[in-house]
Structure 1
Amino acid sequence: MVRCPGLGDNNFSPVSPNIVTLQATVYVPPHPLIQHWLGVVRDRHTPGALFRPALGELGRWLTYEAVRRDWLPLTATTVETPLAAATATFIDPMVPVVLVPILRAGLTLLEGSQNLLPLARVYHFGVVRDEATLEPTIYLNKLPAQLDPDTRVLVLDPMLATGGTLMAALEALVSRGAQPAYIRVVAVIAAPPALQKITRHYPQVQIYTAGIDETLNEVGFIVPGLGDAGDRSFGTM
């Protein structure tokens, strides 16, 4: 079993022994709603009309898990209740928060994340993977030329298979000033090749995923996975 640090001594990801050695933090939250919605999106009989909102729910709950561990800086102040003064703690509005959905499937996670972080800026990042070589090509990059080094970045990428797409996004973010320690990734399913690649190059980046599957097939799809998240979401199968 691969341990997922930070979730307690009895929380582990459901994968076979020795399939991946991680150098960074990969969380598989044991939340019952995450498990439920993961089952919904895995089912081949789930229609697109339910598949999309199910991914949105996974975006919501995985974002909740991703931001609750020392990521969002807080500031303390005093407010007036209807009866008296009271101390209050708020998210520091001076620290930028950014959401980066990886097109196109990452759009399905965006609504759930935005519901929790409504003031976050959204920068779209489009990547297409060559079906023969499995190499990624960037076709859209809406990232700003420079990011404040204190910016908190949440990358939304449903499927971490070979890791090429996420690597391209991380390289673009870091080259613009993003600090790996402030980058967190939300993914629905991850596979060992991607996790090994990402954690080797960016060990400070934390990854939050609903499940870790064992392998990829000959065309780079995660097995058992959930199929093509983009095609199933947008009816283009």
Structure 2
Amino acid sequence: MADRLLVYVPPHPLVKHWLAVARDVTTPPSLFRTAMKELGHWLTYEAVREWLPTLETTVQTPLTSCAATTIDPEVPIAIVPILRAGLALLEGAQTVLPLASIYHLGIERDEQTLQPNCYLNRFPEQFPPRTQIIVAEPMLATGGTIELTMKELTQRGIDPSLVRIVSIVAAPQALQKLDQSYSSLRVYTACIDEGLNDRGFIVPGLGDAGDRSFGTTAVDSPSDSEAG
């Protein structure tokens, strides 16, 4: 059977609660950032729950020795927040993966063509072998941002099967595009929304996750966070 994109929508009540807080147009920036942090934490937890490499070892307790399981320190783990809205998820993701390396990628959308453009890339020329990647991108709209991200990652030696995407809301159009291009990816999202409006924004969506996180402009203005 051919690989198919797998999309996980965790049924955890805390994920549902913080998604509701993030959707609410009356939520102030400080509380919106809290919601993003919490969603980043819980969705990253789900993404790595059966994915992290482990070692079987022995530890000494105050009473005796016993078998133990630890994370394998020899396997590199990295988080890639897509600027700027992905920064809102980063803090929560780091509570789950405090030792992960952080590689920033800045992508913005041309509002005329709706095509993504990369304006900042802090990736190495080649990632270490076997590096496992968490991509933090709050909104998967058209799929263009993630396709560009994956192009940059694979050019630097990343196996798509070692990538997990953490996203708050995803549109079917983006998931269909990823299924065609990178079917070995895994997506962890709080909700699969109805679709896109004529501006390529997710409906019902969150508005603009970047502006709402940092309190910069109106929630329905265009920005990099809607480039997904």
TM-score (norm 2): 0.93
2:179, 2:87 → 1: CA distance? 24
Q: Percent identity?
A: 60
- Is residue 60 of structure 2 the alignment partner of residue 84 of structure 1? no
- Is residue 118 of structure 2 the alignment partner of residue 118 of structure 1? no
- Which one of the candidate residues 1, 18, 21 is aligned to 1:40? 21
- Which one of the candidate residues 151, 158, 166 is aligned to 2:131? 151
Map of 1:61 onto structure 2 = 42
Secondary structure of 2:63's aligned partner: coil
Secondary structure of 1:127's aligned partner: strand
2:209, 2:135 → 1: CA distance? 16
RMSD, matched Cα: 1.0
The structural deviation recorded for 1:229 is: 0.3
Secondary structure of 1:35's aligned partner: helix
Q: Deviations over 1:159-218 (max 9, x none)?
A: 000011111111100110111111000000000111111121000000000001111011
Map of 1:14 onto structure 2 = none
2:11, 2:28 → 1: CA distance? 25
Secondary structure of 2:114's aligned partner: coil
The structural deviation recorded for 1:149 is: 3.2
Map of 2:140 onto structure 1 = 160
Map of 2:4 onto structure 1 = 23
What stretches of structure 1 of length at least 5 have no aligned partner? Answer: 1-21
Q: Is this contact kept in 2: 1:149–1:179, CA < 8 A?
A: no
1:127, 1:86 → 2: CA distance? 48
Number of matched residues?
215
The structural deviation recorded for 1:236 is: 1.3
Moved over 3 A (4+): none
Secondary structure of 1:207's aligned partner: strand
The structural deviation recorded for 1:23 is: 3.1
TM-score (norm 1): 0.89
